[in-house]
Amino acid sequence: MGRSPCCSKEGLNRGAWTSTEDKLLKDYIRVHGEGKWRSLPPRAGLKRCGKSCRLRWLNYLRPDIKRGNITHDEEELIIRLHKLLGNRWSLIAGRLPGRTDNEIKNYWNTNLAKRVGGQSSTCTEKQLTHQTKRRKVLPIKAQPQPIPDTKSSVVVRTKATKCTKSFFHLQKSEKDSYGMCSNNYPKPNPRPDSDNIMTSESSRTSLSECKGGLWSEPHGMVSFSPSREGDYSLDHFGIDLDVGELCLTEFLCSDFQRLTEESHKNNDDNNSSFLPCLVNQLLFRDDQYDTKWIEEQCEP
DNA sequence: AAAGCAGTCAACCGCCTCAAT
DNA sequence: AATTGAGGCGGTTGACTGCTT
C-alpha cells in the first residue's frame, strides 16, 4: 500500500524534457517563482507531473546550477561529508554550491563508491555485482587515494531529531591537540591513562567529568568550551549535543566560514569556538585529524 | 562497420516529513 | 488528535553515448 500518485499520469509526458517544455517551465518560474508544484503544470501549460517539474527545475534549469566536472576539491569534500553524513545527498549538496543532490549521488555511485568499496548503502547487491563485472581502469584524473578506515566510522544519521551525544576520538599528540584550540589556552594537563579512554558504555558515565559545554550562541553559532583546564589532552572526549532546540543537522548546516572566523577572533579562555573549529578541520581542511564518530545516541 | 559492453546521468518511483486543517 | 496533501528525499531505472572487440 502506498500513497496514491501525486497526480494522474494519464495524458502526461514522460521521459526526457524538450527545450519547449524547459522554456515553459523557466518562463513560468521567472514570473511566479518556485513552489506550488502540483498546480504549476496546468498553469504553465505543461503536460508534466508537478514533481517532474520540480525535479527538472532543481536539477537542471535553476540559474545557479554549476556545470562541468566535479573538481578534486569537491570530490574530497564529498568523501568527507559522506563519511560524516552517509547518503544524505541533499545535505552534502548543501555544502557544495551549485551542485545538486542528484548530481552528487550519481557521481558517488559511478565514481567514488567503487573506491570506498562497499561503504555505500546506495548500492544494492545487484548493482555491486553489476559494477564489479563492468569495472575497468578508473578514469580518475588524480590517482585514487586510500580512503580512511571507514568501518570505524559511524555515520551520523542527521534525520534524528535529537542527537544527544557524540564521541570523538582524536589521534593527535597533546601538542597538536592543544594547537587546535584558541591560542590563549593553557597548556593541557598530562594525558590521562588509557583507562580513561572513553569508549562504548563506560564512556557515558564519565562524560560530565571531562567534557565542556556546547551551546548555541545568540548569533546561531555553536561553541564548545572545556569545563576545565586540560580537557583537550584527552585522547577521546565527548560532546553533549543535547542543547535544547539545537540538533546536529542545524549545526552541520551552519556557516562554517563564520564559525572559523569567530574562533580565530576569540581570545577568551572561557569561550572558545573550539568545536566549530574542529568540525571545520574535519570537513574542509586536511587529514591530520583522524577523527572517528565512535558513537552517537539518538532518540527515536 | 556493426554488435555488444560499459559507464553516465536525467528522470521516475515510492516513501517520509511536516504543516495545514 | 487525526487526517490530508505538498514538498522533499533516497533508491532505482533506462535511455543514451562512447569504447572495445
**Which residue segments constitute the domains of chain A, with CATH numbers given?**
19-61 (1.10.10), 72-134 (1.10.10.60), 162-299 (no CATH)
pLDDT exceeds 80 at position A89: yes
What does the pLDDT average to over A142-161? 35
Nucleotides of C under 7 A from a protein CB: 5-13, 15-16
pLDDT in the model for residue A265 = 52
The CA–C1' separation of A51 and B15, in angstroms, is 14
Query: pLDDT digits over A206-230, tens only?
Result: 222 223 333 332 333 333 333 333 3
Q: Which residue is nearest to nucleotide C20 (CA to C1')?
A: A136
Query: Nearest nt (C1') to A132 (CA)?
Result: B6
What does the pLDDT average to over A175-192? 27
- The answer to whether strand C lies under 7 Å from the CB of residue A16 is yes
The CA–C1' separation of A190 and C9, in angstroms, is 47
- The answer to whether strand C lies under 7 Å from the CB of residue A128 is no
Between β-strands A236-240 and A162-170, what pairing exists: parallel, antiparallel or unpaired?
Answer: antiparallel
More confident of the two residues A283 and A13: A13
Query: pLDDT digits over A31-42, tens only?
Result: 888 888 888 888
The CA–C1' separation of A34 and B13, in angstroms, is 22
**Nearest-5° Cα angle at A285, A281 to A288:** 75
pLDDT in the model for residue A256 = 46
Contact predicate A122/A113, CB 8 Å = yes
The CA–C1' separation of A162 and C6, in angstroms, is 25
Which grid coordinates belong to A257? 566560514
Residue A289 phi, psi dihedral angles, 5° rounding: -100, 95
pLDDT in the model for residue A213 = 32
pLDDT exceeds 70 at position A240: no
More confident of the two residues A209 and A80: A80
The CA–C1' separation of A8 and C2, in angstroms, is 26
Rg from Cα positions in chain A: 23
Per-residue pLDDT band at A75 (split at 50, 70, 90): confident
Long-range CB pairs of A200-207, under 8 A, 24+ apart, other chains included: A200/A294, A200/A295, A203/A167, A203/A236, A203/A238, A203/A294, A203/A295, A204/A165, A204/A238, A204/A297, A207/A165, A207/A238, A207/A240
pLDDT exceeds 50 at position A82: yes
pLDDT exceeds 70 at position A11: yes
pLDDT in the model for residue A117 = 58
The CA–C1' separation of A136 and C20, in angstroms, is 12
Query: Nearest nt (C1') to A105 (CA)?
Result: C10
Per-residue pLDDT band at A86 (split at 50, 70, 90): confident
pLDDT in the model for residue A164 = 32
- Of residues 275 to 294 in chain A, which lie within 7 A of strand C by their beta carbon? none
Write the secondary structure of A122-141 as one string of H (helix), E (strand) and C (coil): CCCHHHHHHHHHHCCCCCCC
The CA–C1' separation of A101 and C3, in angstroms, is 31
Per cent of chain A over pLDDT 90 is: 0
pLDDT in the model for residue A116 = 67
More confident of the two residues A260 and A185: A260
pLDDT in the model for residue A218 = 31
pLDDT in the model for residue A115 = 73
